[in-house]
């Protein structure tokens, strides 16, 4: 169920505060807690080389980001359907909220409506969509659809070249669906130089049927506890969801907080979160061995596409 814009704004504030607290609490010791994901046949030497390559890539990204020019877009009508008109009026960059598309939403119907997104994709990477705007019957609203800076950074995006949005419009009072749009594409001034290359280095955990999952790192000092970073790519021909079942750490069953949606032809970076309280209750001070199964399903029909065999890996 969709939330109204004030509630979403509240959620965003909590998330931003969490990131700020995490940043304040991080130090040089935090980086030492991040470990590479390896399988038994891989060596520490290989892991060290991968880490060095990733560090160099991060430094290059930071340099490129510093030198990049301001991104702009042309004003354009994105949606004009059933009395609802959405116009992109500009591009903005905010030090807290990150980049965003400025929108003018016009509601010429006799119903109060809420406009949100079912999916948001930047430079071919899936990005969390926390956008929602309530517009009363016959009224207009100026809003900004933010692209969270933390997620752009995680995907290695230093310059936004293309945004793909799937808008969802529904009745604010009854929550009845009014319409869902097809993909709406916005190309920015940086489109011609857009880099969609993904840092897919790491340990490949799954690769079947056009779905590829790579274990990137284990961060034992993340805000909520421990985060296992995954890179996922989808060339299956279907929009898929990926979740985790039967997960254990050091032989103890865990409750993983993870669910990601990856549209066909797209990529994503996402974390499996393990709460610190659950790790502590099982006496786990360090991640030594992880076992899990991936559940892959069609996001349109929710039918199962595949359930992986148990996958085991460790952190070094």
- Say if CB 165 and CB 186 are below 8 A apart: yes
Q: Which residue has the higher pLDDT, 2 or 260?
A: 260
d(CA 121, CA 36): 27
Which pLDDT tens digit goes with each residue over 138-167?
999 999 999 988 899 999 999 999 999 999
Q: What is the pLDDT of residue 135?
A: 99
d(CA 243, CA 261): 9
So where are the chain's domains? 76-193, 198-315
Task: Using alpha carbons, select from 284, 297, 149, 276 the residue that is nearest to residue 222.
Answer: 276
For the chain, the C-alpha Rg in angstroms (whole number) is 21
Q: What is the CATH number of domain 76-193?
A: 2.60.40.2550
Per-residue pLDDT band at 221 (split at 50, 70, 90)? confident
Which pLDDT tens digit goes with each residue over 95-151?
777 899 999 999 999 999 999 999 999 999 999 888 999 999 999 999 999 998 889
Q: What is the pLDDT of residue 31?
A: 42
Q: Which CATH number fits domain 198-315: 2.60.40.2550, 2.40.40.20, 3.90.1170.40, 1.10.3720.10?
A: 2.60.40.2550
- Say if CB 101 and CB 145 are below 8 A apart: yes
Q: What is the pLDDT of residue 223?
A: 81
pTM reported for the whole predicted model? 0.81
């Amino acid at each position: 169920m969709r939330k109204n814009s004030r509630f979403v704004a509240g959620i965003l504030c909590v998330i931003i505060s969490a990131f700020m607290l995490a940043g304040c609490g991080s130090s040089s010791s935090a980086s030492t807690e991040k470990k590479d994901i390896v399988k038994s046949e891989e060596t520490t030497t290989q892991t060290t080389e991968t880490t060095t390559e990733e560090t160099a890539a991060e430094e290059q990204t930071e340099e490129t980001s510093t030198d990049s020019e301001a991104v702009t877009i042309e004003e354009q009508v994105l949606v004009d359907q059933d009395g609802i008109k959405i116009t992109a009026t500009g591009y903005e960059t905010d030090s807290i909220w990150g980049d965003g598309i400025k929108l003018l939403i016009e509601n010429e119907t006799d119903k109060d409506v809420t406009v949100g997104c079912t999916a948001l994709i930047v430079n071919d990477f899936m990005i969390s969509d926390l956008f929602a705007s309530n517009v009363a019957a016959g009224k207009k609203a100026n809003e900004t659809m933010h692209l969270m800076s933390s997620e752009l950074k995680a995907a290695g995006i230093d310059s936004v070249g293309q945004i793909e949005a799937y808008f969802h419009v529904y009745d604010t009072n009854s929550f009845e669906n009014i319409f869902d749009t097809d993909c709406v594409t916005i190309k920015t001034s940086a489109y011609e130089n857009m880099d969609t290359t993904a840092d897919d280095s790491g340990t490949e955990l799954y690769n079947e049927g056009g779905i590829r999952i790579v274990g990137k790192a284990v961060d034992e000092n993340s805000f909520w506890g421990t985060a296992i970073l995954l890179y996922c790519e989808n060339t299956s021909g279907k929009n898929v969801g990926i979740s985790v079942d039967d997960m254990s750490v050091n032989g103890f069953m865990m409750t993983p907080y993870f669910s990601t949606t990856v549209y066909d032809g797209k990529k994503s970076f996402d974390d499996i979160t393990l709460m610190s309280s659950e790790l502590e209750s099982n006496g786990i001070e360090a991640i030594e061995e992880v076992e899990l199964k991936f559940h892959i399903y069609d996001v349109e029909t929710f039918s199962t596409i595949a359930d992986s065999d148990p996958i085991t890996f460790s952190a070094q």
